[in-house]
Amino acid sequence: MSDATTPALRRQLVQHLPELRDDDNVRIQRFLDSAWAEHGLVRASLDSYRRDLEGLARWRDGAAGGLAGLDRAGLFDYLAWRSRHGWSPRSTARLLSALRAFFADAVRRGERSDDPSALLDPPKLPRLLPKALAESQIDALLASPDIDTPLGLRDRAMLELMYAAGLRVSELVNLPANAVNLRQGVLRVTGKGSKERLVPLGEESQHWLERYLAESRPQLTGKRNVPTPQDGAVPMFLEPSLHPVSRQQFWGLVKKYAVLAGIDPARISPHGLRHSFATHLLNRGADLRALQMLLGHSSLSTTQIYTLVAREHLQKLHAKHHPRG
């Protein structure tokens, strides 16, 4: 098979791998159940772990016992195959993270005595600074939806809320209807590791959220009862089918409104709104510790990367406007 060097070709390559074997599927599911129960991993992390582990299991196709019998040599062979086909260092680092968690669980269960990924160093990754939009671009993006339609009003409320509260995409689309307190103007958000935080709404996002709840949501639901998920949390933002808006759907909406706002869709992603929230607050003098709480970061070092973005912004301003810049 010829080397695949583009995402599309790599997807085709994965699609042609053998089907996942039942014994590997059982092991992967048992690990994911444990990761969810013990560590509170969110759905996006679980899905990422599943994709990485299933890719390795399908590539091995039961050889030498599948995942259960994987040794360092087999793991090296798989990593070499991925490297030949152009998977990125960042993708490989994520795979190694999934494997370490998977094999640590197997060792803890007594199913293995060793971890074949233990001595592998993750690839060195370049430090990527978050990409924030200019405030004028944010204004144009938020004004793009057609608020005279139920879906347009819903989309405006989602965009406003994501930027005002600095939400992760998963936090936004999984937001339950009872998470908002309009009287106090706060939002209860469940983030990574099932940790809860309270985030202020801000006047503008609260206005659009109130309009969505009063005007758009009743039109989308009609007289139908919204299905209640197993966890009992009825979703805030709905499709006409009464299903919640998915991550992929919201991604498509952001790209669509970027085009309408005159922004290159390649330069923006849903997470870019969260980056913009953080960067704009810092540029206006927000305290780093307060920003850490608003973003739901467990470590201050994660939040500190935004100070580099703010510093870069100030350096550009200085170079542009200072007589000796």
Give, for 190, the enclosing helix (H) or strand (E): strand 186-190
Count other C-beta atoms under 10 Å from residue 55's C-beta.
Answer: 19
**CA–CA distance, 127 with 302 (Å, rounded to integer):** 12
The answer on pLDDT for 322 being more than 60 is no
The answer to whether 274 is a known catalytic residue is yes
Q: Which of 10, 72, 188, 192 is catalytic?
A: 192
**CA–CA distance, 164 with 37 (Å, rounded to integer):** 31
The answer to whether 306 is a known catalytic residue is yes
Of all residues in the chain, the percent with pLDDT exceeding 70 is 83
**CA–CA distance, 303 with 122 (Å, rounded to integer):** 22
CATH of 7-109, one of 3.40.50.300, 3.40.50.620, 1.10.150.130, 3.30.70.100: 1.10.150.130
Arithmetic mean of pLDDT over the chain:
83
Q: Which of 94, 156, 274, 280 is catalytic?
A: 274
Across 175-184, average pLDDT: 90
The answer on pLDDT for 189 being more than 90 is no
The answer to whether 212 is a known catalytic residue is no
**CA–CA distance, 8 with 207 (Å, rounded to integer):** 42
The answer to whether 257 is a known catalytic residue is no
Q: Name the CATH topology of 135-321.
A: hpI Integrase; Chain A (1.10.443)
pTM: 0.57
The answer to whether 271 is a known catalytic residue is yes
Q: Which of 154, 168, 217, 280 is catalytic?
A: 168
**Can you give the residue ranges of every domain in the chain?**
7-109, 135-321
Q: How confident is the model over 121-160, as pLDDT tens digits?
A: 766 655 555 577 788 998 999 999 999 999 999 999 999 9
The answer on pLDDT for 1 being more than 50 is no
Amino acid at 93: A
CA-based nearest residue to 35, from 52, 22, 19, 23? 52
CA-based nearest residue to 60, from 68, 92, 100? 68
pLDDT for the residue 208: 96
Across 250-270, average pLDDT: 89
Give CA separation, 84 vs 1, 10, 19, 88, in Å: 11, 11, 22, 10
The answer to whether 90 is a known catalytic residue is no
Give CA separation, 181 vs 110, 184, 188, in Å: 47, 6, 8
Across 102-113, average pLDDT: 90
Q: Which of 58, 247, 275, 297 is catalytic?
A: 297
